[in-house]
Structure formats: C-alpha cells, structure tokens
C-alpha cells in the first residue's frame, strides 16, 4: 500500500516535471503569492529561479526551500521595471530549461485615479503590462520551440469589469487576463499551457498593508495564498484559459455577470471599494 502510493506520487510529479520542468521562473517571488508558488513548485520537484527586488527575502525563501526539498534555487535580485530586465533574465537563464513561467509581480494603486501621479501610473503599466508581456513573449517563444511548457499570468477579479478606486490596477489585470486567454488557444497546438489566475482578495502582505475595512461587507473572505496557488496550478494542469480560485469567488463572479447589467456591476464594485478604502485613499505597494 505504502509502496503503491509512493509510486503514484512519483509518477504524478514526473508528469508535472516532464511538462513544466526542470526549471520554473517566478517573477515577483519574495512574499505572498510568489512565495507560495515557489514552495508549491519546489514540492512538485521543479528547480526555481526567484526574482524580486528584496534579495534578503529571496535568500530566506531559497534556504527554507532547499532545506525541505531536493531542488536547486537561483536567487535573482532584480527590479522588473528596469530597462535591461529582459537582458539580465536572458543571460541568467540561457543555460536553463525553463518549462514554467509565472508572472506575479504587480503594482496596485488604490484610491481615485487622480490621487496618484502620472509617473506612478506609468510605472504600473510598465510592471503590470509591459513586464508581463515582454517575459511572456520571451518564454512563450522558447516553449513553442520545445513543444511543452506552462505560463501563469496573475490577474484579478478587479479586471473583470470597471473597478472604481482600483481603476488602473483593474485595467492592467484585464490586460493580463486577455493576453493569457488568447495565448491559451494560440499555444494549445504547441503543447504550451497558458492560464490566467483571476484571484479575489488574498491575504498577502501587500493586501494586508492596504488596511481594507471589510468586516461589515457581504463579500468573500480573503483566501490564503497557498489555496490560490493550488487552484492556479490545478487549472494549469487541466489547461484552462482562466481560473477563479475559491468557490465563493466563482459564485460571486457568476452572480455579477448573470444578474447585473454592466452599469450595475461597476456601481456595485465601486461601492464595495468605497466602503473598504474610501476615495481619499492613496495607497500603493512599495
């Protein structure tokens, strides 16, 4: 029995490694969802390239993972908003067979659109859209040549309709979802799986630092990052174009899109965000 279940585990993970291994690269891996992706992918036997700006956090995650799992970890401290980010990543990974790419990093300004400077909004586009598109283009082309691989682009329920108070953030999440869903079909015949992870509120350090006031609101509770990652990876393995992690999130999206007009949806999203943050909020993750 024990031997049987052991063999089963090995064959399951070797299927995963054959499709998505031996290396995974996570852009935005130093905490929250990125850290949870790192842990789960190491558990599945993939070697990791971890990218974020805070090297100390990356080193800590790397140490912890290498203690628990027999995988290699490369820490690559890098600002994904820097103009040479593709060159740096290309040169550090040119000898690695990267079979899985996750773009998790994002800037998420909260508050009225005009509460933030134009400079901030341009940084948001650069990190959330140009960064994810540039690296997706790079890894998609390589995976297409090898006829295997997987890509997960993080998106958000804020990108499913206009989302006042999260206006620009929501717009960038619509961008990544749209890109992933289109590539899902384009890449299907090349055996490259592409999934948009359309997450709802998730208890990451970034989300918690925005100090949402949500105790009297009827809305799904923030999920744990590990649960979101579990949904995302299961969706990728099933080659789904999009995954909405969590039953409550799925139901609320179905409700919003089946029973409300687009005007009503935008107004509802706006009033929930207004109650959570108020329009004077001027918050952005560091």
Instruction: Please choose, from the candidates 81, 254, 269, 261, the residue with its C-alpha nearest in 3D space to the C-alpha of residue 167.
Output: 269
Cβ distance 169 to 199 under 8 Å?
no
Of the residues 89, 187, 199, 236, which one makes contact with ligand NAP according to CB under 6 A: 199
Distances (CA, A) of 233 to 66, 79, 108: 21, 26, 23
Contacts of 49 (CB under 8 A, 6+ apart): 23, 24, 25, 26, 73, 74, 76, 92, 93, 96, 98
129 binds ligand NAP (CB under 6 A): no
* 49 close to 41: Cβ distance less than 8 angstroms: no
Map the footprint of ligand NAP across residues 98-127, applying CB under 6 A: 104-106, 108, 127
Residue 25 interacts with ligand NAP (CB under 6 A): yes or no = no
> Could you tell me if 231 and 246 are in contact, meaning their C-beta atoms sit under 8 angstroms apart?
yes
Q: Given candidates 23, 25, 28, 46, which one binds ligand NAP under the rule CB under 6 A?
A: 28
If one asks whether residue 54 binds ligand NAP (CB under 6 A), the answer comes out as yes
Determine which residue in the list 16, 19, 21, 34 makes contact with ligand NAP, applying CB under 6 A.
34
**Of the candidate residues 156, 163, 195, 249, the single one contacting ligand NAP (CB under 6 A):** 156
- Please identify which residue in 44, 166, 173, 177 interacts with ligand NAP, judged by CB under 6 A: 173
> Shortest gap between Cβ of 202 and ligand NAP (angstroms)?
4
Distance between first and last Cα of the chain: 50
Among 47, 161, 163, 206, binds ligand NAP (CB under 6 A): 206
- Ranked by CB distance to ligand NAP, the top (closest) residue is 32
Residues 240-279 that bind ligand NAP (CB under 6 A): none
H-type helices in the chain, by residue range? Answer: 2-20, 32-43, 55-68, 85-93, 118-125, 132-146, 167-188, 205-209, 225-237, 247-259, 262-277
Q: Which of 71, 143, 201, 229 binds ligand NAP (CB under 6 A)?
A: 201
Residues that bind ligand NAP (CB under 6 A): 28-34, 52-54, 57, 79-81, 104-106, 108, 127, 154, 156, 173, 199, 201-202, 204-207, 285
């Amino acid at each position: 029995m024990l031997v049987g279940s052991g063999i089963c585990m090995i064959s399951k993970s070797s299927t995963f490694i054959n499709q998505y291994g031996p290396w995974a690269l996570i852009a935005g891996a130093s905490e929250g969802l990125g850290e949870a992706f790192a842990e789960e992918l190491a558990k599945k036997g993939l070697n990791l390239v971890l990218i974020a700006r805070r090297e100390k956090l990356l080193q800590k995650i790397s140490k912890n993972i290498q203690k628990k799992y027999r995988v290699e970890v490369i820490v690559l401290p890098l600002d994904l908003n820097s103009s040479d980010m593709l060159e740096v990543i290309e040169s550090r990974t040119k000898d690695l067979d990267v079979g899985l790419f996750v773009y998790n990093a994002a800037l998420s300004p909260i508050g009225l659109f005009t509460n933030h400077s134009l400079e901030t909004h341009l940084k948001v586009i650069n990190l959330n859209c140009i960064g994810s598109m540039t690296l997706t283009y790079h890894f998609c082309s390589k995976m297409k040549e090898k006829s295997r691989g997987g890509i997960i682009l993080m998106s958000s329920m804020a990108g499913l309709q206009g989302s006042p108070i999260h206006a620009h953030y929501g717009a960038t999440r619509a961008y990544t979802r749209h890109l992933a869903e289109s590539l899902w079909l384009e890449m299907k015949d090349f055996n490259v799986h592409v999934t948009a992870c359309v997450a709802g509120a998730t208890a990451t350090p970034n989300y918690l630092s925005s100090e949402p006031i949500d105790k009297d609101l009827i809305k799904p509770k923030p999920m744990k990052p590990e649960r979101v990652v579990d949904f995302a990876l299961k969706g990728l393995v099933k080659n789904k174009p999009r995954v909405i992690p969590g039953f409550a999130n799925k139901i609320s999206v179905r409700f919003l899109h089946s029973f409300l007009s687009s005007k009503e949806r935008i107004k509802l999203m706006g009033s929930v965000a207004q109650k959570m943050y108020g329009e004077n909020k001027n918050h952005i993750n560091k």
